[in-house]
Structure formats: structure tokens, C-alpha cells
Amino acid sequence: MSDTGSSVGTEIDVEKDGKQVSYLRAPHSRNSSAWGSLLIPITVIKNGSGPTILLTGGVHGDEYEGPVCLAKLSRELQAEEIQGRVFMIPTLNLPASLAGQRLSPIDGKDLNRVFPGNPRGTMTDIIADYVQRNLLPLCDVVVDLHSGGYSLRFVPYISMHYLRGQAQTQKTFAALKAFDAPVGLLIQEISGEGLLDYEVVRMGKVFLCAELGGGGMLDVHALEVAEVGVRNVLKHVGVIPGEIVSRQARGLPSTRLMEVPDPEYYHTAMDPGVYEPFFELGDFVEAGDILGQVHFLGSCSRPPEAIVARRPGSLIGVRSPASVERGDCVAVIARDLGSDFDPLA
């Protein structure tokens, strides 16, 4: 692969037809291994000309549907059945995935907060930089498979950001609908800069992020959403043949289009304690409803602190462990857009 300053190397030739199952090799000097490397599995399948799609999982190491979905797909997909090119990296932040932790145990960083990365930074920066320089410019579409990890649980959804450009909005929304998750979400992030998302969007490409299950689990239903969704997007862009497997055709309610339009839809614990939720994931709440309360274990007399819903809608994400710190997100509400929603209207 042509190298433009990254210290990551690979045997893979991105222009070669066929299926290549290999590694991204990042130098990893440490006490136990002077000339050691971190070997991040990657599968590249190319057949003739066509769109290029990058599928990533394991950006956070405590999220499991993406890695399992993409490891299976890496074994299943063959060059003969595709037209174009597919990059699959099931565990992009491999050290985090091996540790079952959100952040890299090597440098304590969040891979999805360091983009565009830095070739002279620490391991997480180096991985991000490699993706930014060497993979993103080749791609038309990027689908990043996440879940809630240890600390959150989500109604399985596929999401896109609110975009400025009409053509990019149209293309991204069409891909979102093709994924055909239970929920299709337009989202206003509160994560700040450094997301892979923004880099792909800035390049004018299609970016989708799935949030599948969470709570440190691998959910059967969420995994199926990922597997069907990824194949649907591959069909939608023409990389694999066949009809999109729609929820409707499987007797399921069609994708519910929703949005998280501003930070008011996120709810935060203001003190450390034990969070007692009053609603289940997916429940509808009114503005003013008490979503739950934080108990203070050090005192019997101190009343719990209520977390009040600031907006009406459905609980799309909830805190998973009961124990909370000040500033932890305990609930995310989303509102319905309606089945005939048009993002360009």
C-alpha cells in the first residue's frame, strides 16, 4: 500500500483484484518486545471497478456486534460475488478490543476522538492517521459499527449526521434507509471533535454509524441488525448483487425515522451515586417526566436526585451500569420524524 508518512505497513495491495486477508502492522516497541508490532486484521476484497466501501468495527473495544459481524463477513464474502472493493477491519482499535475496554490500554486514548490522527503520536493516533491518509481517500462509503459499550445500551439504530450539502444528504439518507435498522436516526453529536465521522463527511463521502446493543453484551437481535444492514448497504451501492432484505418483507415494522436534534435530548447525572431508572429502553416519555433518580449511598436522609426529561420522545439510549459518576450520560431521548420524512424538505 502506498505510504504517505504513516509508520503503519501492510502486505495488502489495494489495487489488486481478489481477496486479501492480512494485517495492518504498526510498530509497537514495549518492555517485552523491542521490535514488536501490533497486527490489526484487515480483509480487502476487490473485483474490477466499482465503489469502495470501508466497514469498521471495534473502534471502541467494549462493543462486540461490529467485530463479530465483520469477522464473519470477512470469511463469507468472496471476490467473485463483489463488484468494486470492500475493506473490512473488524477491530480497528485492536488493543482495546483484546482488553474488552472502550479505550486503548496502550495509551489510554479513545480512537474515535483523535481523528485525523498523528503519525508521530501514540498508538491510537497512529491508527487514526493511517485510516485518514491511506484508506479514507479511496472510499466512497464508510460504515462504522458501534454499540453502547459497557456504559450504555441502545435501541439498535443506524445514524447519520445533519449535513449541509444536498447531494451528500440525499446519498447518505438513501444508504441509511437501505441499512434498514429498527431505527434510522439523524443525530447531533455531543462528542466534540476528533470523530472518524467528521473526517469522512468533510471529504464529501457517505458516512453511517450504527449503534447496536451495549452493556458489554453481544445481543442476538442487534447482531442480526448489523449483519442484514451491512449486506443491505453493500447491495444498495452495487458492491454485491441481490435485493435489499427489508424489515417489511420479514414481517417487521419498517424503519422508524427519528432524530436527536440538540444536546437537550441527552441527560446527565449531576452527582455520583446509584441510578434507578423509571423507564425501559424504548419507552415513550413526556417532557417533565422523571426518567430516574440518583441515590446517595452515604446518607439515608439525603433524598435522591431526580433526572427530569427535558424533551418528549422515546428512550433510544440508557445507562447500563447502575453506578454513576457526576457527568455520566444516563438517558438519550429521540423524537419521531415520521415515515415520509424528507431530509431535503
> Which span (52-60, 117-125, 183-191, 244-252) binds Ca ion, by CB under 5 A?
52-60
Q: How far is the CB of 63 from Ca ion (least distance, A)?
A: 5
Q: CA nearest 332: which of 290, 291, 278, 300?
A: 291
Query: How many residues in the shown chain lie near Ca ion by CB under 5 A?
Result: 2
Cell readout for 252 is 417487521
Distance CA(270)–CA(261), nearest Å, equals: 22
> Which span (54-62, 235-243, 247-255, 261-269) binds Ca ion, by CB under 5 A?
54-62
Q: How far is the CB of 144 from Ca ion (least distance, A)?
A: 9
DSSP, collapsed to helix, strand or coil, labels residue 178 as helix
- Looking only at the bridges linking them, the beta strands covering 206-211 and 141-146 are parallel
- Looking only at the bridges linking them, the beta strands covering 141-146 and 52-57 are parallel
Cell readout for 293 is 433518580
Q: How far is the CB of 178 from Ca ion (least distance, A)?
A: 22
Q: How far is the CB of 211 from Ca ion (least distance, A)?
A: 7
Distance CA(263)–CA(285), nearest Å, equals: 17
Q: Between 60 and 171, name the residue whose CB sits nearer to Ca ion.
A: 60
- The residue within the footprint of Ca ion, chosen from 46, 60, 85, 231 (CB under 5 A), is 60
* Residue 158: alpha-carbon gap to chain centroid: 9
What DSSP state is assigned to residue 105?
Answer: T
**3-class DSSP string for 299-340:** CCCCCCEEEECCCCEEEEEEECCCEECCCCEEEEEEEECCCC
Mutual orientation of helices 220-236 and 65-76 as an angle, nearest 10°? 50
Closest residue to Ca ion, based on beta-carbon distance: 146
Q: How far is the CB of 32 from Ca ion (least distance, A)?
A: 29
Q: Between 146 and 295, name the residue whose CB sits nearer to Ca ion.
A: 146
Q: Between 62 and 227, name the residue whose CB sits nearer to Ca ion.
A: 62
Distance CA(152)–CA(188), nearest Å, equals: 17
Distance CA(87)–CA(204), nearest Å, equals: 19
Q: How far is the CB of 149 from Ca ion (least distance, A)?
A: 5
Residues 143-172, mask of contacts with Ca ion (x by CB under 5 A): ---x--------------------------
Q: How far is the CB of 101 from Ca ion (least distance, A)?
A: 12
Q: Between 60 and 133, name the residue whose CB sits nearer to Ca ion.
A: 60
Distance CA(330)–CA(328), nearest Å, equals: 6
Q: Between 1 and 157, name the residue whose CB sits nearer to Ca ion.
A: 157
Cβ atoms of residues 165 and 204 within 8 Å: yes
Q: Between 60 and 256, name the residue whose CB sits nearer to Ca ion.
A: 60
Cβ atoms of residues 131 and 121 within 8 Å: no
Q: Between 87 and 150, name the residue whose CB sits nearer to Ca ion.
A: 150
Find the binding residues for Ca ion in span 119-148 (CB under 5 A): 146
Distance CA(329)–CA(227), nearest Å, equals: 28
Q: How far is the CB of 20 from Ca ion (least distance, A)?
A: 27
Residues near Ca ion (CB under 5 A): 60, 146
